[in-house]
């Protein structure tokens, strides 16, 4: 296991940024930057031993300072959408940025993926970790409470990328942290993900209104194009004339995971038969947003000159349900003052 670092350039404000890379003995390498605690690249071998980067992204800090698609992003304080860009705690209403129509998306105009973090490296024989930490002050983005927050990325010799989230606030607040990496197991610059095969351990999902805010309904996936309980091609039913798919332009939905939530359990598996790569996803969170990259407009300033277009990458955002702070029947993302929030998600890579 090896850890290295190098300059990732200066921000527009003149801040120095660093790229950290962890490499294991199996040819897997993962890179991160202290700007935004973002994942920059995930390099894994295919079934022939040929390594390729399976995460969409940028080559330099300038790309991540803009980053409209949230490539590799550490998302907080609240991932996904909040209806009306407002919520209430203890009788007080908090107003947020309306950066997605009348709603709040991924916490507003400046999410956690656009702040600079302190970094600390921990090295052991079979696992190396890097922890990114910062204090998110009271009312940053409109959220109450001084929040000490960290995300720790670890790489193991079993080709597991482990993502651990930890947060504690001095006031009652809401917390919903996730990662927004776009995966393409054929390689970041290889085109459509529609031939990837996907399995999701979920019997139900949360339908949305026209602006992608959950209505509060919980709907069975049986007999619908949303059903991935038997592995199928992502493109098999993506353009079916089914209202939730029409509204989102494809898959962009919160799946209710069929797990107990007490520990990380396997919730999804993706296979790319072209490269032979396989990715398994484990989490202890109640939901996962599966997003098929429907809103990717051509992104031209990407890694190695690649151009990313619609459905060239897919996201698996483990989370509390969108707008859960306004829907009492959903699992709550409320974090009480002095209580610790912790969750873990694992992306495990192998070949078929």
Mean pLDDT for all residues in the chain:
97
The dihedral over CA atoms of 40, 44, 46, 51, expressed in degrees to the nearest 10, equals 80
| Catalytic hit among 78, 180, 188, 196 | 180
φ, ψ for residue 303, nearest 5 deg: -55, 135
The CA radius of gyration of the chain, in Å to the nearest whole number, is 19
Q: How many domains does the chain have?
A: 1
Domain housing 252: 2-351
What pLDDT digit, counting tens, does each position of 300-321 carry? 889 999 999 999 999 999 999 9
- Decide: residue 77, CB within 10 A, 0-12 exposed, 13-18 middle, 19+ buried: buried
What pLDDT digit, counting tens, does each position of 79-118 carry? 999 999 999 999 999 999 999 999 999 999 999 999 999 9
pLDDT band at 232 (very low <50, low <70, confident <90, very high): very high
| Confidence check: pLDDT of 347 > 90 | yes
Strand partners, 256: 204, 287
Best CA proximity match to 312, nearest among 195, 197, 210: 195
Cβ neighbour number for residue 325 with a 10 Å cutoff: 23
In this structure, what CATH number is given to the domain that contains residue 178?
2.70.98.10
Q: How far apart are CA 235 and CA 251, in angstroms?
A: 10
Active site residue 317: yes
pLDDT score for 252: 98
Q: What is the mean pLDDT of residues 235-255?
A: 98
The b-or-e profile of 120-131 (16+ CB within 10 A means b, else e) is eeeeeeebbbbb
Do 218 and 256 meet the contact criterion of CB atoms below 8 Å apart? yes
What pLDDT digit, counting tens, does each position of 35-80 carry? 999 999 999 999 999 999 999 999 999 999 999 999 999 999 999 9
What pLDDT digit, counting tens, does each position of 260-313 carry? 999 999 999 999 999 999 999 999 999 999 999 999 999 988 999 999 999 999
Q: How far apart are CA 166 and CA 345, in angstroms?
A: 12
Active site residue 243: no
pLDDT score for 300: 85
pLDDT score for 301: 84
pLDDT score for 205: 98
Q: How far apart are CA 287 and CA 291, in angstroms?
A: 13
pLDDT score for 349: 98
Within 13 A of 160's CA, how many CA atoms are on the CB side? 19
């Amino acid at each position: 296991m090896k850890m290295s670092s190098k300059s990732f350039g200066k921000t527009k404000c003149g801040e120095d940024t660093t790229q950290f890379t962890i490499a294991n003995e199996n040819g897997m390498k993962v890179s991160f930057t202290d700007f935004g605690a973002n994942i920059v690249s995930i390099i894994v071998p295919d079934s022939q031993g040929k390594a390729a980067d399976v995460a969409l992204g940028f080559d330099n800090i300038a790309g991540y300072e803009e980053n409209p698609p949230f490539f590799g992003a550490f998302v907080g304080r609240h991932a996904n959408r909040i209806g009306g860009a407002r919520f209430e705690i203890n009788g007080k209403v908090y107003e947020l940025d309306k950066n997605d129509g009348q709603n709040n998306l991924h916490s507003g105009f400046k999410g956690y993926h656009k702040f600079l973090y302190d970094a600390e490296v921990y090295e052991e024989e079979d696992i190396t970790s890097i922890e990114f930490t910062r204090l998110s002050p009271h009312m940053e983005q409109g959220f109450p409470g001084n929040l000490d927050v960290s995300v720790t990325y670890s790489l193991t010799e079993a080709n597991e990328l482990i993502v651990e989230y930890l947060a504690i606030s001095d006031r009652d607040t809401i917390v919903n942290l996730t990662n927004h990496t776009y995966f393409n197991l054929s390689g970041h610059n290889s085109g459509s993900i529609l031939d990837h095969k996907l399995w999701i351990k979920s019997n139900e999902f949360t339908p949305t209104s026209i602006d992608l805010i959950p209505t509060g309904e919980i709907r069975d996936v049986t007999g619908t194009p949303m059903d991935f309980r038997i592995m199928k091609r992502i493109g098999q039913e993506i353009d079916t004339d089914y209202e939730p798919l029409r509204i989102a332009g494809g898959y962009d939905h919160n799946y209710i995971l069929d797990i107990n939530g007490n520990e990380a359990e396997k919730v999804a598996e993706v296979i790319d038969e072209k490269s032979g790569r396989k990715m398994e996803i484990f989490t202890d969170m109640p939901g996962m947003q599966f997003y098929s990259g429907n809103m990717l407009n051509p992104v031209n300033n990407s890694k190695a000159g690649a151009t990313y277009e619609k459905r060239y990458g897919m996201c698996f955002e483990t989370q509390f349900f969108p707008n859960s702070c306004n829907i009492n029947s959903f699992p709550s993302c409320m974090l009480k003052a002095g209580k610790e929030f912790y969750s873990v998600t694992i992306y495990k890579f192998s070949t078929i």
